[in-house]
Structure 1
Amino acid sequence: MTIIKVKHIRKEWNGIPLFADVSFEIAERERVLLFGRNGIGKTTLLQGLLGRYTFEEGNVYHGLPPKERGVLDQELEIGPDVSALEYVLSGSPEVDDLKRRLEQMGRMLQETGGSDEALVAEYGEVYERYLQLDGYGWEAKAEQSLSQLMLNPEVWTLPYRQLSGGQKTRVQLAALLARQPKLLILDEPTNHLDEETMVWLEEWVRNYPGTVFYVSHDRRFIDRTATTVLELSPQGCRRYPGGYTKYREQKEIESRTLAVQYRKQELEREKLLASIRRYAEWFQQAHLAAGQNDFRRAQAKKNVSRLHAKEASLERLEQNRVELPRAISQLSMKLEGEVFRGDSLLEMSGIHYAYGGVPALLENFNLTLRRGDRLAVLGPNGAGKSTLLKLIAGLLEPDGGELRMHPRTRVGYFAQELDNLPLSSTLLDSLLELPGMTQTEARTILGCFLFPREDVFKRIGDLSLGEKCRVAFLRLYFGRANLFVLDEPTNYLDIDTRERVEEALASYPGGLVIVSHDRYLHAKVANRLLVLERGGNPRQFTGTYEEYSSKDRSRVLTPEEQSQEGELQLMKLRLAQLMHSETRETVEEDRELMTEIVQLRRTIHERQ
């Protein structure tokens, strides 16, 4: 059964074309990812399918009525007094309306003492209908769904608008879980979710009995849920079976195949052009030599026939010419830090921190950050991850304990709220304030960060969240910090830009402390993990995210073990530096180099 069928739709935004000639079908039980760069129109396409926008051209067929569709909307607008539970209950409009009427009539009956017989009769009819629709069962299902999404009962009565981003997402997911519509349309369902909720969501989407059409930038989530990737571009869209990894593999094969076809065609084109030139020259020479001799003139004309045949072949080749895809602008960034030759960038010992009247987020907390550390901080929302980063960055003061920063440590802080940007400045002006910066250099740098031409005159406050995120990295670019403290650095970036950021962070020579819900980022960058838990002791794990995912994580490292692990990381960093160092000037120095390398390898092997 076809759930959605789209034919040749086109959409403009304020007169600017977003996409055109988009056609696709989604069948029952498919899980389809809508993929594309930021600004390509993914959310606009979803909103158009829901009837909230109109398309300039094309047709959309829906195989299901609106009541069978469920939507997760990042910009959901509901009344200021609607609680989380009330929003979930509104998923069954008739039951919700009957419940409200029963409550209203119940208050009226209390006021009249039950003397209004007409009101009593009406109450009985409404109550009977409520029972027929299993109203109490629906209430229980709504509460159960909120519980499954790890939302405590005290959150249920709070106004939806007052909830955090992660709580809002979970409330919407709870509403969909209760309703179980036949079609789910999800716009960034993984935003702001902690790992526990993310794992639950993956399982739910993978086993969902209906059809799922969604947008996401979480590559692991895509790999574990999508059956099809639908790539949206300004010129249309293409389908690729499987998840993100399989999509990337197919794109690479496609790119190599196109390159081979293009080279082959270019060689054929050169041969045809050479033949055309040669036959033209032969005709001219033979025509001049023939003079008025009819036989020779006829022979010369054979070259004209061959010339025309080659020209026809060239025309067919041009009509069916393989074009290489136009290069897409990509973020170009190399992060550098001030040279740091010390051992420890930062040490925290016996740290205590708590908000007023709330149990301590950090209690007797110890942490050492050394040169070469790439620490990923994991844990559920509310465990204190962002608080820890603010303590490290110096934005918060601990209530107790000691935090010692090396005098040469320079911290570069990236806040997920993006509220430390100069919102009133233009992009260009914010760079021209730097000493010695010229307009040409500023424009070049902004182009590397995907801000071309007239975009440089935009006010930072008017930029999208993804653009502000790139501006935040631009400020880190000039900070030359040797310790980056990054709170959700890739939240608003598309996948292509995330991968460029990962490459820059992986090659960054300084220390890193990262909080992120992007598991691909942890897998690519981190070599140490710190796991925070609400009400539990922090746990440290030395190794990659993939190793952490596959090993026993229950044991807590002692301070002595943490110190030993730090020394081990320093030795590994020293070994990497020696392995990539230049050849020494003398044989004796080369022998000393090899001796140190051998000793380091032996020591590292013994301690692992």
Structure 2
Amino acid sequence: MDAEHIEWLKRYLQDYENAFVLISHDIPFLNSVVNIIYHMENQELNRYVGDYDKFLEVYEVKKKQLEAAYNRQQKEREELADFVARNKARVATRNMAMSRQKKLDKMDIIELAAEKPKPEFNFKEARTPGKTIFETTDLVIGYDTPLSKPINVRMERGEKIAMFGANGIGKSTLLKSILGLTPALSGKTVLGDYLEIGYFEQESDNKSKNTCIEELWSEFPGFSQYEVRSALAKCGLTTKHIESLFRVLSGGEQAKVRLCKIINRATNVLFLDEPTNHLDVDAKEELKRALKAYKGSILLICHEPDFYEDFITRSIDCREWSLRV
């Protein structure tokens, strides 16, 4: 959803008098409309009263308390097991050893939840490109009919630009026209020198019959199976995900595979079309960190100012040139 529709939905839910269930990875949005959080972890559903920030605060406290209790129990179990091992053979201490063994046997074992893999997005960087990344001259985009007025925009090396505006006004079409993937109706785009482009398309190809391994191998045939698996695992995918068909994965898991393809190729400019759409909270935070650290140029389409406002150098309001406003 674009920013205007998110704002509309936020106001609607704030005024809504009945109950509703919401699934979202948009934290500011969640904080503005919910008062109960249900958290699913390791096939267990837990209820927390409050917004997302309150849930996170209570969850972290409970996690630390559980870890402390686990460590205490592990120490106690080691001491009991050691006493039993040293004293069970001696007649004088056999009864004490048996008593401690019974205590061990009756103890309710504390188990820590298995940590889900967290992604690491580290973009490889290519040689420095020319000063100009691209420049459009009177570019009119569209298909059968124009979507825009003539667009004149220039991007220089080192810039990190966010493009925003309502859905359907031509942001993705502009990006594709700049890259030469969609012919412009008129005008021209000149790309700079020595560009190594990483392109994240808004939607993935769900018709692919490849597994995740095959999907990455097709991009990097020189990789060993270990290198392919390792690259996918670093992006937060489990063995089950890695061995599954690409098309059966969730939107967020597919996005991680597609990001993996970009990350493992040296680039100096990234064209990213709504990369956060399906990412979970951890993946979104890691992508934000990686883009902030990236030394190349970025042209980003995104409806979440909270995601990009810390690292962009400027923004482009696409309503200024769109004919769909």
Q: TM-score, normalised by structure 2?
A: 0.84
Which residue, 156, 162, 181 being the options, matches 1:369?
A: 156
Deviation (angstroms), 1:258: 1.8
Q: Is the 8 A contact 1:361 1:534 kept in 2?
A: no
Q: Whole-Å Cα distance in 1 between the matches of residues 102 and 248 of structure 2?
A: 54
Q: Whole-Å Cα distance in 1 between the matches of residues 312 and 53 of structure 2?
A: 21
What amino acid is the match of 1:304?
R
Deviation (angstroms), 1:310: 3.0
Which residue, 427, 435, 441 being the options, matches 2:227?
A: 441
- Alpha carbons of structure 1 residues 424 and 266: separation in structure 2 relative to 1, 3 Å: closer
Aligned to 1:510: 296
What amino acid is the match of 1:244?
Y
Q: How does 1:52-451 map to 2 (within 5 A)?
A: 193-233=1-41, 235-280=43-88, 284=90, 300=92, 303-316=93-106, 318-319=107-108, 321-340=109-128, 342-348=130-136, 350-355=137-142, 358=145, 361-371=148-158, 373-399=159-185, 403-419=189-205, 423-433=208-218, 434-449=220-235
- Alpha carbons of structure 1 residues 357 and 311: separation in structure 2 relative to 1, 3 Å: closer
Q: Whole-Å Cα distance in 1 between the matches of residues 15 and 293 of structure 2?
A: 39
Which residue, 261, 268, 277 being the options, matches 1:475?
A: 261
Q: TM-score, normalised by structure 1?
A: 0.48
Q: Is the 8 A contact 1:393 1:411 kept in 2?
A: no
Unaligned runs of 5+ in 2: none
Q: Whole-Å Cα distance in 2 between the matches of residues 236 and 364 of structure 1?
A: 52
Q: Whole-Å Cα distance in 2 between the matches of residues 309 and 516 of structure 1?
A: 64
Q: Is the 8 A contact 2:132 2:154 kept in 1?
A: no
- Alpha carbons of structure 1 residues 357 and 392: separation in structure 2 relative to 1, 3 Å: closer
- Alpha carbons of structure 1 residues 221 and 269: separation in structure 2 relative to 1, 3 Å: same
Cα deviation code 1:372-407 (max 9, x no counterpart):
x32211112233321222233232354555533221
Q: Whole-Å Cα distance in 2 between the matches of residues 387 and 198 of structure 1?
A: 22
- Alpha carbons of structure 1 residues 260 and 455: separation in structure 2 relative to 1, 3 Å: closer
What is the percentage of aligned positions where both structures have the same residue? 26
Which residue, 305, 316, 319 being the options, matches 1:530?
A: 316
Q: Secondary structure of 1:396's partner?
A: coil
What amino acid is the match of 2:300?
I
Q: Whole-Å Cα distance in 2 between the matches of residues 223 and 407 of structure 1?
A: 45
Deviation (angstroms), 1:458: 4.6
Q: Whole-Å Cα distance in 1 between the matches of residues 271 and 321 of structure 2?
A: 24
- Alpha carbons of structure 1 residues 279 and 376: separation in structure 2 relative to 1, 3 Å: same
What amino acid is the match of 1:368?
M
Q: Secondary structure of 1:229's partner?
A: strand
Unaligned runs of 5+ in 1: 1-192, 288-299, 538-608
What amino acid is the match of 2:98?
H
The structure with more radius of gyration: 1
Q: Is the 8 A contact 1:347 1:367 kept in 2?
A: yes
Q: Whole-Å Cα distance in 2 between the matches of residues 445 and 379 of structure 1?
A: 34
Q: Whole-Å Cα distance in 2 between the matches of residues 236 and 431 of structure 1?
A: 32
CA RMSD of aligned residues (A): 3.1
Q: Whole-Å Cα distance in 1 between the matches of residues 143 and 226 of structure 2?
A: 51
How many residues are matched?
322
* Bigger RCO of structures 1 and 2 (CA < 8 A, at least 6 apart): 2
Cα deviation code 1:68-98 (max 9, x no counterpart):
xxxxxxxxxxxxxxxxxxxxxxxxxxxxxxx
Cα deviation code 1:167-199 (max 9, x no counterpart):
xxxxxxxxxxxxxxxxxxxxxxxxxx2211211
What amino acid is the match of 2:26?
D
Q: Whole-Å Cα distance in 1 between the matches of residues 170 and 143 of structure 2?
A: 14
- Alpha carbons of structure 1 residues 354 and 451: separation in structure 2 relative to 1, 3 Å: closer
Q: Is the 8 A contact 2:139 2:189 kept in 1?
A: no
Q: Secondary structure of 1:363's partner?
A: coil
Q: Whole-Å Cα distance in 1 between the matches of residues 36 and 28 of structure 2?
A: 14
Q: Is the 8 A contact 2:288 2:308 kept in 1?
A: no
